[in-house]
A and B are shown apart, each in its own frame.
Chain A
Amino acid sequence: MSGEPKQISCAEFQSHLSELIGSGADVSAHPHLQNCALCQALLADLQTIADAARQLFTNVEPPDDLWKQIESAIEKEENEEDKDTH
């Protein structure tokens, strides 16, 4: 009752998924996916997450007083350099 001998299990497929994705190959063409809805859904979700990461993260403004802090840190550093050189 084990079906076709070459069919691999979900666990086996998933244990290789990281390498498969990392290899840049077209994972969606993998034979296991042709009749496994579970792993199809997994792959689609991982793709959705990667796409969302690329699109959803927006840049935010740092607090206004940060520049003041940086400016004084720079000044301090330059004063120390002056001391060293004179």
Chain B
Amino acid sequence: MPQSEVPAHLADPAENESVTPQPPAEPVVRYAPASAPDPAEAEVLARAQAGDHHAFAQLYALHKRRIYSLCLRMVGNIAEAEDMTQEAFLQLHRKIATFRGDSAFSTWLHRLAINVVLMQLRKKGLNLISLDEAMEPTPEEGPGRSFGAPDLRLSGSIDRLALERAVADLPAGYRLIFILHDVEGYEHNEIATMLDCSIGNSKSQLHKARLKLRETLQAQGRTSAKETQS
């Protein structure tokens, strides 16, 4: 399926990476760089703030990939990710005039989208920091069982699809913290504020999320090793 084209002048420069699995020179999606914002975007932003619909459409084109991908990672399914993206841009439309430029616009929009997703998840009654998840027994069972022999060690390179699948399979609370911290680059104190939990809780959930991912990836590795043997 061909990817729809974004005109070059609208394309987010941070997102021009191709599909190569090689690690890019810098992290893919982090906070907006501290460098000065693109003057062309600043102008579009100012027009959108003044109520120009065409400018708002341009802002959408500039940020849709990043916001949709964020929503998709956080909720783990396409239909909901579309709803959340729509809600995020609706909120943006309502609030855009209040953006004062204290932070980069892309950072502000990113936070707005996260809050939209968290609010929707809470509305659906999802306990973001689930006690069950937090209480799930992990290392106590001993190293022999959970933390296999060295030959099960991940090879040092992880397949992108395998990782995406493993993340999508995480319990919702683990996934949120893993995405916010390891993928999006937020600090534990910021996550604790967003999720209304303690910093310690954020740290321990992240650790458990990574342990769970390791388990899943090791299991996948064993399966594919068997397949190649036979």
Contact = CB atoms under 8 A, between A and B. Distances in A.
Interface string B198-222: 0010011011101101100100000
A42 to B, nearest CB: 5
Contacts, number: 151
B3 interface: yes
B28 interface: yes
A53 B82 CA distance: 23
A59 B28 contact: yes
Interface residues of A, number: 42
A50 to B, nearest CB: 5
A38 B147 contact: yes
Contacts of A1: none
11 contacts: A15-B140, A41-B147, A52-B163, A53-B167, A54-B28, A54-B182, A56-B23, A57-B69, A59-B66, A70-B60, A70-B90
Given A21-B203, A59-B15, A61-B68, 17 more contacts: A10-B142, A18-B203, A18-B204, A18-B206, A38-B149, A38-B150, A41-B150, A41-B152, A49-B213, A50-B182, A53-B178, A54-B183, A55-B27, A58-B69, A59-B69, A62-B68, A69-B82
Interface of A: 10-11, 14-15, 17-19, 21-22, 37-39, 41-42, 44-46, 48-64, 66-67, 69-71, 73-74, 77
